[in-house]
Amino acid sequence: MKKKDTILVVDDENGVRQSFNMVLKDDYHVLLAGTGQEAMDIFKKNSVDLILLDILLPDINGLELLEKLVETDPNTEIIMVTAVNEIQTAVQAIKLGAYEYIIKPFVVDDVLTVIRRALEKQSLVKEVTYLRNELERYHPFEKMVGKNKKMRKIFDLISTIAQSDGTVLIQGESGTGKELVARAIHNRSHRKNQPFVVVNCAAIPATLMESKIFGHNKGAFTGASSTRIGKLELADTGTVFFDDIDLLDVNMQAKLLRIIQEKEFERLGSSKVVEIDVRFVAASNKEIKNLILNGKFREDLYYRLNVFPIWLPPLRERRDDISLLLEHYLELNSTEAGKPPKTFAEKAIKTLIEYDWPGNVRELKNLVERLFTITKGPIIHLENSAAYNIGKKKIKDMPLKEAVGIFEKKYISDILDSVDGNRTKAAKKLGIHRNTLLTKTNDFGL
């Protein structure tokens, strides 16, 4: 049975308190207070769901008490009790957070209805808050999914790190979510409404890197036909994300170190000092410490970046997140394509949980997208062509017959696709009899 809700009645007239008590005591747990002080004491010691609050109290103005109560626990519903000539005050009370007011002398049924509605609203608010928290647990940052212990620690870390301005170094295999984490840090920081600028060290040729980062004045070098501001200036007041920082050449590493320390630089071809206020975040899919040993990365820059290190574990070390991610991306695919939802067959989920995911979340995301698109019905099985890649990694461990079977199935399936499923044409292309093909397609469940 549900526990009774607790109602605190605050009124200086004993008669009023007793009549409320009479009306309420069957359905609620009732507490009574004659003064503001008494009310506050009871309120602090008990878990009160709703308060009936008289506006005229001997020791404190009802509105003032209301404010104190709301401040102490904003989740308690408060209903003001007022005489006709105090209605103005009651209206003011609602602005201050009271749920409703009732006028003395009151009609019992009206009072009960108002109380019931207030408590209903309160339980809805609680439910929404709870659901929102649940949702946050699984989608703590925009689109980041994870309930694995290591990931939950990382989510906590992101929140903490976001509060400061220290540099962050995110390391982890390709596809583990490094960029997502960098964005999450930015989006949770006080810089969230300012720019998030990516410097993609893998994509920018070394010869252009300097001008991309610092910008240049017209005529700074051959081909600089106009003045350009660089990534650092673009990122001013926001966050700059150096992706694949391990690929930044050693000269640029030295310059970057200086900028992180001094927060100022000059555009190429200009002597004017540009001061910036940016937060630096960097990512690498190689372990930077190893690069230091063979001279590919400056140790001083490493320590400067590594104020807050984040290590993202590969998916195979958090297999408990795999089914959550599969669900997440299935849902996303159906929403984005405006198509009915699909689910994975149980056997498929098992295979996918056991799979090693060398490409991590990115590989999973791409696979789900492919399977969602090619699967006609509502249930996704892996026994068709796209899943071939999943089995492939282990093919070296298979008996020849099984390996040949996998190849044969994929080959036949591709040929069938190329002739839009026409068995006669496919048999001809494959150089076998149509009946042989039919037996094989049956066996393979094609």
Q: CA nearest 65: which of 87, 91, 43? A: 43
Residue closer to ligand ATP (CB basis): 147 or 434? 147
Give 358 or 421: the residue with its C-beta nearer to ligand ATP. 358
The whole-angstrom separation of Cα 215 and Cα 229 is 4
Q: Tell me if residue 310 falls in helix, strand or coil.
A: strand
Q: Which stretch binds ligand ATP (CB under 6 A): 176-184, 205-213, 227-235, 429-437?
A: 176-184
- What one-character-per-residue DSSP string does 236-280 give? TTSEEEEETGGGS-HHHHHHHHHHHHH-EEE-BT--PEEE---EE
Binders in 122-161 for ligand ATP, by CB under 6 A: 143-146
Q: What whole-number distance in Å separates Cα of residue 235 and Cα of residue 195? A: 5
Min CB(79)–ligand ATP separation in Å: 45
- Whether residue 49 contacts residue 74, with contact meaning beta carbons closer than 8 Å, is answered with no
Q: What are phi and psi for residue 286, nearest 5 degrees?
A: -115, 155
Q: For residue 345, what are the contacts with CB-CB under 8 A and spacing of at least 6?
A: 379, 380, 381, 382
Applying CB under 6 A, among 76, 176, 189, 413 the residue interacting with ligand ATP is 176
Contact with ligand ATP (CB under 6 A): which of 174, 217, 227, 441?
174
List b or e across 408-420, with b for residues whose CB sees 16 or more CB atoms inside 10 angstroms.
ebbebbebbeeee
265-294 residues in contact with ligand ATP (CB under 6 A) are 285
Which is nearest to 417 in space by CA: 387, 374, 383? Answer: 374
* Contacting range for ligand ATP; rule: CB under 6 A; set: 65-73, 229-237, 361-369, 387-395: 361-369
Nearer to ligand ATP, 176 or 211 (CB): 176
Q: Which among 153-161, 177-185, 295-303, 330-338 is the span making contact with ligand ATP, rule CB under 6 A? A: 177-185
Q: Interacting stretch for Mg ion, rule CB under 5 A, among 61-69, 172-180, 245-253, 434-442? A: 172-180
Q: Are 81 and 106 in contact (CB under 8 A)?
A: yes
| Distance in Å, CB of 311 to ligand ATP, minimum | 11
DSSP sequence for 363-413: HHHHHHHHHHHH--SSEE-SSSGGGHHHHHTTGGGS-HHHHHHHHHHHHHH
Amino acid sitting at position 89: T
Judged by CB under 5 A, how many residues of this single chain contact Mg ion?
1
- Return the number of the residue (285 or 333) whose C-beta is nearest ligand ATP: 285
Query: CB of 176: closest distance to ligand ATP in angstroms?
Result: 4
Q: Which tokens belong to 284?
A: 């690498």
Among 52, 115, 178, 333, binds ligand ATP (CB under 6 A): 178
Nearer to Mg ion among residue 179 and residue 356 (C-beta): 179
Rounded Cα distance between 314 and 359, Å, is: 9
| Binding residue (CB under 6 A) for ligand ATP from 29, 263, 362, 440 | 362
Which span (84-92, 117-125, 168-176, 385-393) binds ligand ATP, by CB under 6 A? 168-176
Which residue reads 């089995």 in tokens?
Answer: 391
Residue 179 as a binder of Mg ion (CB under 5 A): the answer is yes
Q: Which stretch binds Mg ion (CB under 5 A): 117-125, 175-183, 263-271, 303-311?
A: 175-183
Q: Which is nearer to ligand ATP, 122 or 334 (CB)?
A: 334
Q: How far is the CB of 367 from ligand ATP (least distance, A)?
A: 12
Q: d(Cα 371, Cα 309) in Å, to the nearest integer?
A: 36
Binding-site member from 90, 361, 380, 382 for ligand ATP (CB under 6 A): 361
Amino acid letter for position 395: I
In whole angstroms, give the CA distance from residue 336 to residue 344.
18
Q: Which stretch binds Mg ion (CB under 5 A): 20-28, 66-74, 176-184, 315-323?
A: 176-184
Within residues 179-218, the interface with ligand ATP by CB under 6 A covers: 179-180
Q: Which residue is nearest to Mg ion (CB)?
A: 179
Q: By the 8 A CB rule, do 387 and 375 touch?
A: no
Contacting ligand ATP within 385-444 (CB under 6 A):
none
Residue 215 one-letter amino acid: G
Using CB under 6 A, list all residues that contact ligand ATP.
143-146, 172, 174-180, 285, 361-362, 365
Using CB under 5 A, list all residues that contact Mg ion.
179
